[in-house]
């Protein structure tokens, strides 16, 4: 229960972003918590095995975190694990991708600043990554596009940003696309490639998995465009 000074017990959903153990055997867990944003939670003695958290303080573990908010620090009491995404570890490409996303979250969010909309985007992106039928390059593109969308910065992919036409060939930049007539700088995309990016960004979870394998765009190009999105994100923060 909460009192006036904000102390007390808190039970919020969240995901472990990183974990750090001290030589004295204390553990700190950096958790992206619903309604609170990223916060450090202390688990004294946890690294010595005094408090048995098992794997529940590993990065990428999702669950409900039981937190005691002390006057100066917050303490982790317990975790009800919902999903640990352990299966990602069986693919070096996929776990590297997940770790890369965690790095972006660490770099582009501020401690104590809630970002509730990011939680489902991250969760469902990890779920896609877990699915062997889903292309991880397109899943990453989708993750960053959707993150930018919740922050109101996702580049428009349907119409030319200068003249509003539905382009054939187009140039993609962080601000959107330009048709050939309007020109400008950016990554050249065929109509098929642009539509593949659009579909990967906005399609539902199941459609994404079903169509991922037949997507009309190569991985190198997807990665190039994803880097543009990552840069947009970094510029905002
Ligand atoms: Zn145009």
pLDDT in tens, 189-210: 999 999 999 999 999 999 999 9
Phi, psi (deg, nearest 5) at residue 221: -70, -40
CA of 147 to the centre of ligand 1 (A): 26
Phi, psi (deg, nearest 5) at residue 97: -65, -45
pLDDT band at residue 87 under the 50/70/90 scheme: very high
CA of 182 to the centre of ligand 1 (A): 4
CA of 141 to the centre of ligand 1 (A): 24
- What does the pLDDT read at residue 45? 84
CA of 185 to the centre of ligand 1 (A): 12
- What does the pLDDT read at residue 213? 82
In this structure, CATH architecture of domain 8-83 = Beta Barrel (2.40)
Residue 232: other Cβ atoms inside 10 A: 20
CA of 146 to the centre of ligand 1 (A): 24
d(CA 173, CA 87): 34
> Of the candidates 167, 180, 218, 168, which has an alpha carbon nearest to the alpha carbon of residue 197?
218
CA of 181 to the centre of ligand 1 (A): 6
Mean pLDDT of 204-228: 94
Is residue 212 within 8 Å of residue 205, measured between CB atoms?
no
d(CA 70, CA 54): 24
Region label for 37, one of left (φ > 0), alpha (ψ between -120 and 50) or beta (otherwise): left
Which alpha helices (H) appear in the chain, and where do they start and end? 92-108, 118-130, 136-150, 191-202, 205-212, 219-236
CA of 170 to the centre of ligand 1 (A): 9
CA of 145 to the centre of ligand 1 (A): 22
pLDDT band at residue 237 under the 50/70/90 scheme: confident
Per DSSP, the residues of 127-189 read HHHH-TTS-HHHHHHHHHHHHHHHTT-PPP-SSBTTT----SSEEEETTEEEETTT--SSEEE
Is residue 5 within 8 Å of residue 71, measured between CB atoms?
yes
Query: Where does the chain hold its CATH 2.40.50.140 domain(s)?
Result: 8-83
In the three-class reduction of DSSP (H, G, I as helix; E, B as strand; rest coil), residue 62 is classed as: strand
- What does the pLDDT read at residue 51? 59
CA of 166 to the centre of ligand 1 (A): 8
In the three-class reduction of DSSP (H, G, I as helix; E, B as strand; rest coil), residue 211 is classed as: helix
């Amino acid at each position: 229960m909460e009192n006036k000074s904000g102390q007390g017990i808190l039970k919020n959903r969240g995901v472990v972003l990183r974990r750090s153990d001290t030589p004295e055997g204390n553990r700190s867990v950096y958790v992206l918590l619903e309604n609170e944003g990223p916060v450090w939670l202390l688990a004294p003695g946890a690294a010595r095995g005094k408090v048995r958290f098992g794997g529940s303080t590993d990065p990428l573990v999702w669950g409900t975190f039981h937190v005691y908010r002390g006057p100066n620090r917050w303490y982790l009491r317990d975790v009800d694990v919902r999903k640990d995404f352990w299966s990602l570890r069986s693919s070096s490409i996929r776990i590297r991708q997940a770790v890369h996303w965690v790095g972006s979250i660490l770099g582009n969010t501020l401690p104590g600043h809630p970002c509730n909309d990011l939680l489902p985007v991250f969760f469902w992106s990890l779920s896609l990554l877990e699915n062997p039928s889903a292309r991880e390059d397109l899943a990453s593109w989708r993750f960053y596009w959707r993150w930018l969308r919740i922050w109101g910065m996702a580049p428009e992919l349907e119409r030319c940003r200068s003249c509003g036409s539905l382009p054939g060939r187009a140039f993609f930049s962080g601000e959107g696309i330009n048709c050939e007539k309007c020109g400008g700088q950016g990554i050249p995309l065929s109509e098929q490639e642009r539509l593949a990016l659009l579909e990967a960004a906005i399609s539902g979870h199941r459609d994404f998995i079903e169509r991922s394998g037949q997507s009309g765009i190569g991985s190198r190009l997807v990665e190039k465009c994803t880097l543009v999105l990552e840069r947009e994100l970094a510029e905002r923060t």
